[in-house]
Structure 1
């Protein structure tokens, strides 16, 4: 490479900002019950703090490939940080639900710009043989930040107020921004791609409609039968079909679907999406089970989930280095087998299960995920030629958000269905023990559902093979 970058400083600034964004996401999840009391809102309304965040990401992510070509790296970085800092400040000062909701949208806009920028910058500044380790650090952020969220959030809520989740995040965002402004260079060439308004409208309706529909399905009594849910999902699907047809016919598509011509990219993408569904379902169900089913406090729940998630984060860079050395198969296949086994054990937990068992199962689950996520993702992106990097990361990031919303909604509706079915057959449905048992029954059904996804993943992983970077790609990078 002709140009040498201060890769360490650039990576550090992107990781600090990404970490804070991800941290505030889950730290707020654990404050939901608290926020419902403070703002006098229902669970369905509180859910919007997460849904709105995902919806904003789902709408913004597909345009990220376009934005990466239209603006310089520094412009996008500054835009994303201003949005995140403003959102975090508004959230810290929020006095009502509407103000907090507005803050979440601002934060999501920042994250929606930052995540694709982070992946694209790493693909440009690191040669293929060192990418696994660099992507491993991204894995550390993507997994470790959401993991520390509930523990730190639980502590802050117990001793201070939920506002401090955001006050704590603010100085770190400012530090990350300052480091980035000093060391981050413009790593991509700015081309002026044609902005196709129809593509933007179709992608917003398509991805937005699906995320919105599935998110609504996870709420309320009507669930999947609601007219709004059905209409949103249908509009979303129709818009997505039209969007796809338009991208295929355009000379300069907004989202280049040629990425799907690369088989290892497709397998990597499918495995990452399976992981996303498993993580989102477990992340939302496990804390509910521990609090309602096992009757533990918010803080205790956070502590139980910390070792597994911390280990996942710590292992990610190590897994990245193993991937650089041995390729994906020897990590991904065993990882999926471990995840499948852990989810099967989870489908048998009850309020009588020991805390040690739940901690051990969660550690196993998170270690398994660490073995799958980054190797599958990096191997997939490695197969793409450099001009498709922005599109490959845009497709991957967009579909992750969509899968996150689908996973959360499906998990919540399976849980609600299981709880209702149990209480319907109960002679004393209002007894605390029966409510705990109903929660357990619903949670077990969700874990069986996620186990079936992991089993499909095992089959897909058998077809994964290492991508050797072509000479043409190497030439274009030099």
Structure 2
């Protein structure tokens, strides 16, 4: 039986999709290192500036669930070229920003483009490569998903120090132009165009649900949970998502087929991916603040310090991807979480206003050595259990939760960081600002350590899809629902 769709240039298609997604995901955290610069230039508070990151994630979380529907209405080329062109417009708008409103509008437009490219990348890679080659391909894709947001503060730190923060967007714009030209010539359609009925209510419930959830989590970073501004959107978001889920399960042609979560390895793989992204985005905002605010490094130097962990990720991702085809996911995911826990424990044991730089570097390298072994194997193992008909739904569901995880990681990390600072000031009222900031960051790593322990427990239940007893009723129902 054919396990994949034959295309003319599968490697070239994979490169275009991955590079386009890389630029978009790099944009998630690229401004983290520049927030202080943007605050000074536009005279805004930290809470307002933070929306440059959380707003980006908010748009992705709203748009990605709709992607499964879009892939059945538009060709692969139309979605990829369209996504790249929209991203280009957003990057140019942000680069030319005269005020904060113009900047955040540029970010939103760029996020719309990324929201189109990201789920298309995942489903197309599953379709154009045979299952025995997926490990290596998904290893590179795992590198894109983890390296891009982690590398954001590193590259942007160098760009900010040498050229200025607007050049983050000018460089992205140039890359988008080149990719659009190549994509128009290379990308071929691999999705089945069925043009299903558009359910406006599902789109509305999805938008309100994910929008309310991320808005509430993001607001929690600077407002008490008891405030209606926090729990109101959270409550509305959760209620909308519950109604959305019930509606999808009853529909013959759901916007997102939630029956993918009836496959146990997909559910476990998605949960592990969620926790991994949550930790990556937490460290991506905490460590730049710590290096600049507590250890008093410049943006460029702080970025270079973080480069060591990203280098580990870069080297290990293709290795893990290749070995995954031979050994499967279980060994990697369990071992990976052990290293993630060790990295977090080292952060907890060493972070202060006087920590030697090498200790931060080693802890970050341990953290990413583990993360690299967790992300791709859990993702590929989960998607491998799905039938071909559910790839688009599975990638849409997984990508949506990844964006929620990113927003949740950013928001909760800042919330715990703020609480840690307040607690430290109560105990040491005469502490210096670097000491207070270091204490807040250290306190936030209790959160990431707890998450990594939960991840290790989930990893123990990871198995090869072939080892999981297939539920024929689930498979028939899921496949039938998609074909109808």
Alignment TM-score > 0.5, same fold: yes
Residue aligning to 1:277: 278
Kept after mapping to 1: 8 A contact 2:149/2:281: no
Deviations 1:77-109 (A, max 9, x none): 122011101001111111111111110001000
Q: Report how far residue 225 of structure 1 moved.
A: 2.5
Q: Report how far residue 205 of structure 1 moved.
A: 0.7
Residue aligning to 1:185: 188
Residue aligning to 1:460: 458
Kept after mapping to 2: 8 A contact 1:9/1:179: no
Question: Which whole-Å CA distance do the structure 2 matches of 1:146 and 1:455 have between them?
Answer: 22
Check if 1:303 corresponds to 2:304: yes
Residue aligning to 2:266: 265
Question: Which whole-Å CA distance do the structure 1 matches of 2:306 and 2:280 have between them?
Answer: 12
Residue 175 of structure 1 aligns to a residue in which SS?
helix
Check if 1:39 corresponds to 2:42: yes
Residue aligning to 1:24: 27
Kept after mapping to 2: 8 A contact 1:347/1:443: no
Matches within 5 A, 1:19-418: 19-219=22-222, 222-348=223-349, 349-418=351-420
Distance 1:108 1:4, change over 3 A: closer
Question: Which whole-Å CA distance do the structure 1 matches of 2:62 and 2:78 have between them?
Answer: 20
Q: Report how far residue 149 of structure 1 moved.
A: 2.5
Deviations 1:416-471 (A, max 9, x none): 0110111123342xxxx52222222221221111111111111111111112399x
Q: How many residues align?
A: 467
Deviations 1:19-50 (A, max 9, x none): 22222332211110000001111111101111
Question: Which whole-Å CA distance do the structure 1 matches of 2:26 and 2:6 have between them?
Answer: 33
Deviations 1:393-429 (A, max 9, x none): 111011111111111111111110110111123342x
Kept after mapping to 2: 8 A contact 1:426/1:434: no
Q: Report how far residue 306 of structure 1 moved.
A: 0.6
Using structure 2 for the length normalisation, give the TM-score. Answer: 0.93
From 419, 423, 426, the counterpart of 2:425: 423
Question: Which whole-Å CA distance do the structure 2 matches of 1:300 and 1:178 have between them?
Answer: 35
Question: Which whole-Å CA distance do the structure 1 matches of 2:189 and 2:120 have between them?
Answer: 11
From 432, 447, 460, the counterpart of 1:449: 447
Residue aligning to 2:482: none
Residue 465 of structure 2 aligns to a residue in which SS?
coil
Residue 223 of structure 1 aligns to a residue in which SS?
coil
Question: Which whole-Å CA distance do the structure 1 matches of 2:224 and 2:245 have between them?
Answer: 28
Using structure 1 for the length normalisation, give the TM-score. Answer: 0.95
Deviations 1:244-286 (A, max 9, x none): 1111111111111110110100110111111111111111111
Gapped regions of structure 2 (runs ≥ 5): 480-484
Residue 338 of structure 1 aligns to a residue in which SS?
helix
Question: Which whole-Å CA distance do the structure 2 matches of 1:274 and 1:27 have between them?
Answer: 21
Residue 253 of structure 1 aligns to a residue in which SS?
coil
Question: Which whole-Å CA distance do the structure 1 matches of 2:448 and 2:156 have between them?
Answer: 26
Give the RMSD, CA atoms, in angstroms.
1.7
Question: Which whole-Å CA distance do the structure 1 matches of 2:156 and 2:442 have between them?
Answer: 26
Distance 1:145 1:427, change over 3 A: closer
Kept after mapping to 1: 8 A contact 2:126/2:134: yes
Q: Report how far residue 316 of structure 1 moved.
A: 1.1
Question: Which whole-Å CA distance do the structure 1 matches of 2:410 and 2:125 have between them?
Answer: 29
Residue aligning to 2:8: 5
Residue aligning to 2:433: 435
Q: Report how far residue 313 of structure 1 moved.
A: 2.5
